[in-house]
Structure 1
Amino acid sequence: MRIVFMGTPEFSVPVLQALVDAGHDVVAAYSQPARRSGRGKAVTPSPVQARAEALGIAVRTPVSLKDGGAQAEFAAFAADVAVVAAYGLILPRAVLDAPRLGCLNVHASLLPRWRGAAPIQRAILAGDAETGVGIMQMEAGLDTGPVRLEGRTAIDGKTAGGLTDELSAMGARLMVEVLGDIAAYPAVAQPEDGVTYAPKIDKAETRLDFAQSAVAVERQVRGFNPPGAWFEVGGERVRVLAADVVPGEGPGPATTGPQQGPGLRRGTVVDEALTIQCADGLIRPTLLQRAGRGVMTAGELLRGFPIPKGTQL
């Protein structure tokens, strides 16, 4: 098929590569504009732009698709279909209708659960047992379109990063399957029941909230890795990249310290192994990272950065 691809982050790259490997004619790749990033704030193209350029595919990076000129340029590619994977811009009706077969989206959830921007993280934070990918025929609503094909996987202790990689590969495979014989995969309307929304992650959410249960805190650790959930001690942020829920209740509630913000309370370190009392249960970080340092175990961290029993985090 003649395809326009639309995507931005690393999640999208395997989908683009799979289309090329399957022999489709990807005539253009749309991505969000290059942004400044890193310590030097250098202008860095998105992962999709970088891969598309390496593949010799024409790249377009409009700030918006709302104006007539951008819409006319898109329509001029005369695509059979647009394939969308975490593009990050709203597609107006004129764009949705331009390809002969419309626009197909790789959405990383089991629709209608977790429509919106952060379905992978929200599924982990909510304690969902499974998630997946849907190949959705796009329409004007927010992830409301009918689904042509779906794949599932157990969450089973996975981090957001690991699950992102898995669902990206799954979405690439399913998209190629659908495009191989699109008539064999009719679009099926989403159920009306069970709709939930996955708003974009706010940076404030990544601070560990020890007013929750230890189970919920451990979900925070997995759901925000990468880049990593964190606590503060001695004026320094420490990222927690992995943690275990520990049996037992500890000596008391994690609410003895002052409030750290709406809904946030301090956790208390209850032993010399960095076990932390939560509102319900105990959690023990196993992989951590200080600013400017490499990832280390709790034992390695404590040897150079003591956090004694009784410390409020």
Structure 2
Amino acid sequence: MRVIFMGTPDFSVPTLMEIVGQGHEVVAVYSQPPRPAGRGMEERKSPVHEAAERLGLPVFTPTSLKSGDEQEQFRALDADVAVVVAYGLLLPKAILEAPRDGCLNLHGSLLPRWRGAAPIQRAIMAGDAETGVQVMRMDEGLDTGDVAMSETIQITETMTAQDLHDRMMVLGADLMVRALAALSRGGLTSRPQDSEGVTYAKKIDKAESRIDFSAPATDVHNKIRGLSPFPGAWCEMTIRGKAQRVKILRSASAEGKGEPGALLDDAMTVACGEGAVRLIELQRAGKGAMKAEDFQRGADLKVGDVIA
């Protein structure tokens, strides 16, 4: 099929690679424009942009698709279908209707649960036991289109957002090429989403990433793994007389009780409003991630110290 691929982050790259590997003709790749990044703030191309260039594919990076010129350029590509994976721009009606078979989106949840920007993180933070990836026929609403194909993923108690992201992007790439195969045969059917159970996965705000140890341990643990590694759930610890911000990248449920935020033992077990969590992997500002025992030796924290 003649495919326009639209995506930006590393999550999208496996799907692009699978589409090319299956022999489809990718006539163009759309991605977010290069943006300043890193310490030098030099402009950096997106992971999809770089992958497309390695494959020798033409890349377009408009800041908007609302102009008539952009829409005419899109239509002129004469695509059978557009595949959208974490692109980052809203698609106007003229874009949605340009390909002969419309636009297919790969979404990281079991719709209608977790429509929106951050379905991976929100599912874990809410303590969901399962999620999934779905291929959806796009319409003008926010993730409201009919669902064509779906795969379920179990969320384990230790799974972080990064773990789920990595599992989902591989499974999603396979799901999308299966959907394209069905579409090429005229056999891709879809069904409307349920009208009940709609939730929205709003974009993660860094202001919500501070850990509140007065919350139940389950909520604390879910926040830690749902925000790992980015932006990272954090707390403040007094390390050698200086208050420092520390990200918690991995944790586990633990036995114990005490004043919320109090260290209960030398294994970095911290009391919560109900129960306790054991901190497994931590990261100080400007430092690499460390296992708890290594962090503890360098920080010289003592039982009874309170972190917040």
TM-score by length of 1: 0.93
Q: Does 1:251 align with 2:258?
A: yes
Alignment pair present for 1:236 and 2:244: yes
Per-residue deviation, 1:159: 1.0
Which residue number corresponds to residue 167 of structure 2? 166
Verify the 8 A CA contact 2:258 2:272 in the aligned structure 1: no
What is the alpha-carbon distance in structure 2 between the residues aligned to residue 124 and residue 207 of structure 1?
16
Kindly, what percent of the aligned residue pairs are identical?
Answer: 52
Q: Post-superposition shift, 1:311? A: 2.4
List structure 1 segments (4+ residues) > 4 angstroms apart after TM superposition.
none
Say whether residues 1:294 and 2:288 are aligned partners: yes
Give me the whole-angstrom Cα distance separating, in 1, the residues matched to 2:55 and 2:233. Answer: 36
User: Offset at 1:72?
Assistant: 1.1
The residue number in structure 1 matching 2:301 is 307
Cα shift at 1:272:
3.0
| Aligned equivalents of 1:221, 1:26: Cα separation in 2 | 39
Deviations 1:18-43 (A, max 9, x none): 00000000011101111111112111
Number of aligned residue pairs: give it. 299
| Residue 276 of structure 1: how far off its partner (Å) | 1.1
Give the equivalent residue in structure 2 for 1:261: none
SS at match of 2:224: helix
CA drift at 1:165: 1.2
Q: CA RMSD in A?
A: 1.1
SS at match of 1:303: helix
1:155 matched to which residue of 2? Answer: 155
Q: Corresponding residue for 2:203?
A: 200
Aligned residue type for 1:59: V
Counterpart position of 1:107: 107
**Letter paired with 1:208:** I
Instruction: Note the 1:71-90 alignment, pairs <5 A.
Output: 71-90=71-90
Distance of 1:128 and 1:71 partners within structure 2: 39
Shift of 1:15: 0.5
Alignment of 1:132-143 (within 5 A): 132-143=132-143
Give the Cα separation in 1 of the matches to 2:291 and 2:173.
Answer: 35
- Are the aligned partners of 2:131 and 2:155 in contact in 1 as well (CA < 8 Å)? yes
Deviation at 1:73, TM superposition (A): 1.1
Shift of 1:207: 1.6
Number of the residue aligned with 2:70: 70
Could you tell me which residue of structure 1 aligns to residue 215 of structure 2? 212
Taking the aligned partners of 1:10 and 1:206, their CA distance within structure 2 comes to 23
What secondary structure is seen at the aligned counterpart in 2 of 1:184?
coil
- The question of 1:278 aligning with 2:246 is answered no
How many Å separate the matches in 2 of 1:37 and 1:170? 29
